Structure 1
Amino acid sequence: MQDPEVYRRLIGKLLYLNLTRPDISYIVQQLSQFLNAPRAPHYLAATYVLRYLKGTLNYGLFYAANVDLKLSTYCDADWGNCLDSGRSLTGYCIFLGSSLISWKTKKHKAVSKSSTEAEYRSMSQTTSMSQTADEVVWIDGLLEDLWIQVPKPITLFCDNVAAQHIADNPCFHERTKHLRRKHYKLDVHYVRENVQLGFIKIAHVSSALQLADIMTKPLGADQHRFLSQKIGLVSQPCVQDWSGFSPSQS
């Protein structure tokens, strides 16, 4: 591009818009990787995002007045998504009742050698997005400060059966022989400890109903529209009554 600042300003605006439009989280994360030296194809992809937003100007997240005050989380990882680095992406959606209150798309700091490893890191990062602030723990503590008691355990939905077995069964080592690096071992122990303490519960969800897919991979138009509706993104939300909506409803 002749003027990279144009691209950078556009991505900055999309990052701000991502605070209310989780359906563009994946593409904004992808485009944000090229801020240093953007090329014409990157800018062209960004204009496609603008066209999509122009066609969905009246879309927004719907928050029902009467919902069950229960936390649930969906996490997913797209193994080896980045062609340049081979790193995977983590995506998560955290719901309070049927209302989406937190979401993120983040690239792993290290390469995962298997899809199980990538999924397990996604589970760990959803429970603990950084060394100083635990995402689910922080939200639970915030609600307690507001005198809102959240039922335990908090359900963590994952579509990888092997990762679920590792979290539930400390003797399941078949898929963990290659997890020798220190930070991966800490991830294993962190998730397993929270399961044993009864703070979180790992539950399996089919890939077709994995809501975090919209955060981690490109989707076809039908599936993208379906998952957008499932996470609570609706057209003219003030008009529709979605009080009975549940994100885990099939």
Structure 2
Amino acid sequence: MIITGDDTEEMIELRKNLFNEFEMKDLGLLKYFLGIEVLRSKKGIFINQRKYVLDLLAEVGMVDCKPADTPMVQNHGLQMKENARLADRGRYQRLVGKLIYLSHTRPDIAYAVGVVSQFMHAPQEEHWDAALRIVRYLKGTADHGLLFEKHGNLEIHGFTDADWAGNPNDRKSTAGYFTFIGGNLVTWRSKKQKVVALSSAEAEFRGIKSGLTELLWLRRIMKELGLDSSKTCKLFCDNKAAISISENPENIEAKIVEMPFVKSEDQLADILTKAVNSKLFREVLCKLSIGNPVA
């Protein structure tokens, strides 16, 4: 059981009442819970799943494997092919299920895991190889995680992007977003869209919709917690047409949301700047020549 809150006296009273009713032991500050490790320092709170990764490597017999530079090859083109050799479905589903749980602290594998999870019903050997590449990437990045620091503000920002007709089977697009509160990454998502977009602007528009919904939800949560969230939220996008058709006059006039245009390369660099201390894309973005993040 994890007990958290901002009222120390109430937490002490709660622990006291629990100990009176049940046989329990106070383990002190949170260090490990359901495969997630929590470390504290003067810089902030760092969470990762290093032990979970090492256990996963041992389970699939890849402790001594050669690490991969990225979780997935660029322009992978994964799809269902006719007459292709099938992989062991049970083994595939178990591995991908573990990778999905791992992505709770590893946004750098979110897209790759989202792709391989699309073939759970009938995985082929090519899909299995793609899943194993994610594992090989984890071998070299087992200590990656998220660092939450105090930056003196609680501003809410988000970044959204989408590929157009990226799925070779059904030509559906994949959209994703990252959101930050006070400079700390808090939520992220990468998901294939449900309908076929007829243009890149439409694909980006649907991506903006998901990112904007997330920002407004975070703003409401902050308000319910009694935290100052009065500053305008910013959702960055690299498609001017999508921004034009997405702007909500009510929210814009009330200065709730702004949607600045940002070039793709600048957007990626800005994400890196905000997330560098979280060890997010240390390997992936270096390969894309975006920058040279530090630990």
User: Scaled by the length of structure 1, what TM-score is found?
Assistant: 0.72
Quote the RMSD (CA, aligned, Å). Answer: 2.5
Larger Rg: 2
For 2:80, the equivalent position in structure 1 comes to none
In structure 2, the residue matched to 1:188 is none
> Gaps (5+ residues) in structure 1?
129-134, 169-190, 236-250
| Cα drift, residue 150 of structure 1 | 1.3
Mean alpha-carbon deviation: is it higher for 152-161 or for 32-41? 152-161
1:139 to 200, 208, 218: 218
Q: Report the Cα offset of residue 70 of structure 1.
A: 0.3
What CA deviation, in whole Å up to 9, does each residue of 1:33-75 have, x standing for no partner? 0000001111111111111101011111111133421000101
Superposed, which structure 2 residues align to 1:1-250 within 5 Å?
1=86, 3-128=88-213, 135-168=214-247, 191-211=248-268, 222-223=286-287, 226=290, 229=293, 235=295
Percent of pairs with identical residues: 37
Q: Distance in 2 between matches of 1:228 and 1:161?
A: 29
Q: Could you say what secondary structure the match of 2:187 adopts? A: strand
Question: Gaps (5+ residues) in structure 2?
Answer: 1-85, 273-282
The structure-2 alpha-carbon separation of the partners of 1:32 and 1:2, relative to structure 1 and needing over 3 Å to count, comes to closer
Aligned length: 199
Distance 1:227 1:91 in 2: 21
Specify the code of the residue in structure 1 equivalent to 2:286.
D
CA distance in 2, matches of 1:18, 1:228: 23
1:17 and 1:117 map into 2 onto residues whose CA distance is: 31
Whether contact under 8 Å (2:160, 2:207) holds in the other structure is yes
Question: Structure 1 stretches (4+) deviating beyond 6 angstroms?
Answer: none
TM-score by length of 2: 0.62
Structure with bigger RCO (C-alpha 8 Å, 6+ apart)? 1
Give the Cα–Cα distance (whole angstroms) in 2 for the partners of residues 19 and 225 of structure 1.
Answer: 26
Give 1:210 shift.
2.5
